[in-house]
Amino acid sequence: MTQAPKKLFIKTYGCQMNVYDSERMAETLGASGYVTTETAEDADMVLLNTCHIREKAAEKVYSDLGRLRPLKEAKPGLKIGVAGCVAQAEGEEILNRMPLVDLVVGPQSYHRLPEMERAVGQGGRAVDTDFPEDDKFEALKSRPKAKRGPTAFLTVQEGCDKFCAFCVVPYTRGAEVSRPAERIVAEARELVEAGVREITLLGQNVNAWHGAEGGLAALVGQLAAIDGLERIRYTTSHPNDMDEALIAAHGQEAKLMPYLHLPVQSGSDRILKAMNRKHTADQYLRLIERIRAARPDILLTSDFIVGFPGETDADFEATMDLVRAVGYGSAFSFKYSPRPGTPAAERKVQVEASVMDARLQRLQALLGEQQRTAQETMVGRETTVLFEKPGRLPGQMVGKSEHLFAVHVQAPESLRGEIARVRITASGPNSLAGSLIG
């Protein structure tokens, strides 16, 4: 009798890199007989792939683990694991606080999950939060040939050497490491063969990629030569790694989409220095000018932190001035929250919560106004849309424009995975509506 496959449920927290990591975890555990399932209740193994960036990240993980306790009690053979950045930061503590956890694995070691799973199956507990010398990407198998959706993430760079005062990434992901170009191109070809039309290159500082001569611009050029790959994006970038070749690529490479996420965090030079960002507001603005000169229709997005320790009203107003000067298509904005072990967490001058709340509301109102303006300027224009899935209404399909706007169109489902020209007819709260051309 054929043994039924074991079922794996992965809950993914945080960034796109964790989404990519979760896919690779599922693939590597597939070699041990696991298939994915949509619910923890149906699973033989549950993995929480965690993120340590946002406020109270560890507490949220412990809360989710607490909710798994009744499931573990009802199903003693259930394996529970914690992966990702919280696992890296608090590996032994997780095992001590949560006896129901069977394994803990950091983001650089998940290629070892099969052997860890076998150790758990023999009655042990497993923890691996080292920064191993062996390359996890080299150890991972090739991507499965199964049919995929039209878009995919592809990690090309990990880690960070910038040591921003508020950020834990250098401590949980390690130093900057770039994957070799030939391996990236090979994985991209596998994705395209599986049906992918658009690839987003991922990295903590993706534009610091140095896996071959010419940097990220050269890598984009190599990927653009792949038949069937129609769109290329990358995220997240650091202003200091935005070289002239990459700026020029936005104007020269048709497959590189006119969209760039370029976090600045603050518009105050005093706060930028305290954050250890190593650039000024003016340098950032001059960089934006060069990027727009290369690609005038590029849509820019960013990240902002309000209430960084010591931020004054004048510092915050400098941020508002920078936002007005740039004109973003969208942005992520957050109240500062101390991350244990970072320099900013040790600062004594913390901004009051009520002040942070008020500043965040003002900033988000301005950013929301800019997003609405960016969307409304698309009305009446033509664009291309890569259709990904059916919409909520009968006969409707949803896809992404070149500028990464969600677009709803009355279109046949046969267009899934195809790129078509669309005229934008209306702008909604977070999406656009359009009609097929021709």
- CA atoms of 40 and 43, how far apart (whole Å): 5
- One fold for 142-257 and 260-377: yes
- CA atoms of 164 and 170, how far apart (whole Å): 9
Q: CATH number of 142-257: 3.30.750.210, 3.40.47.10, 3.40.50.300, 3.30.56.10?
A: 3.30.750.210
Q: Which of 403, 397, 30, 426 is nearest to 231 (CA)?
A: 403
Per the structure block, which two tokens stand in for 60? 């949220």
Helices (H), 275-312: 281-294
User: Region 172-188: what's the mean pLDDT?
Assistant: 91
| Domain boundary assignment for the chain | 6-128, 142-257, 260-377, 382-436
The domain 260-377 having CATH identifier 1.20.120.1730: the answer here is no
| Residue type (1 letter), 139 | A
Least confident of 168-182, 230-244, 372-386: 168-182
User: Region 123-148: what's the mean pLDDT?
Assistant: 68
Q: How confident is the model at residue 207 (pLDDT cuts 50, 70, 90)?
A: very high
The pLDDT score that the predictor gives to residue 140 is 64
Q: Give the count of beta carbons closer than 10 Å to the beta carbon of residue 97.
A: 12
> DSSP letters of 39-75?
-GGG-SEEEEEE--SSTTHHHHHHHHHHHHHHHHHH-
Q: CATH number of 382-436: 3.20.20.70, 2.60.120.1140, 3.10.110.10, 2.40.50.140?
A: 2.40.50.140
Is the pLDDT score of 134 beyond 60? no
Q: How far is CA 115 from CA 59, 122, 128, 135, 364, in A?
A: 28, 11, 11, 16, 46
Q: Which residue, chain included where needed, has tokens 């050497």?
A: 161
Burial environment of residue 119 by CB neighbours within 10 A (0 to 12, 13 to 18, 19 or more): middle
Is the pLDDT score of 420 beyond 60? yes
Per the structure block, which two tokens stand in for 326? 């740039």
- CA atoms of 250 and 248, how far apart (whole Å): 5
Question: What is the enclosing helix (H) or strand (E) of 303?
Answer: strand 299-306
Residue with more model confidence, 108 or 436? 436
Q: Which residues pair with 234 in a beta bridge?
A: 201
Class at the top of the CATH hierarchy for domain 6-128? alpha beta
The pLDDT score that the predictor gives to residue 55 is 60
Q: How confident is the model at residue 305 (pLDDT cuts 50, 70, 90)?
A: very high
The pLDDT score that the predictor gives to residue 145 is 60
Q: How confident is the model at residue 91 (pLDDT cuts 50, 70, 90)?
A: confident
Kindly report, residue by residue over 31-58, the tens digit of the pLDDT: 888 999 999 999 999 999 988 766 677 7
CB 92 within 8 A of CB 127: yes
- CA atoms of 26 and 45, how far apart (whole Å): 11
Helices (H), 130-206: 136-139, 169-172, 181-193
Is the pLDDT score of 150 beyond 70? yes
Q: Could you give the angle at the alpha carbon of 216 between the alpha carbons of 49 and 234, nearest 5°?
A: 45
Helices (H), 342-387: 353-376
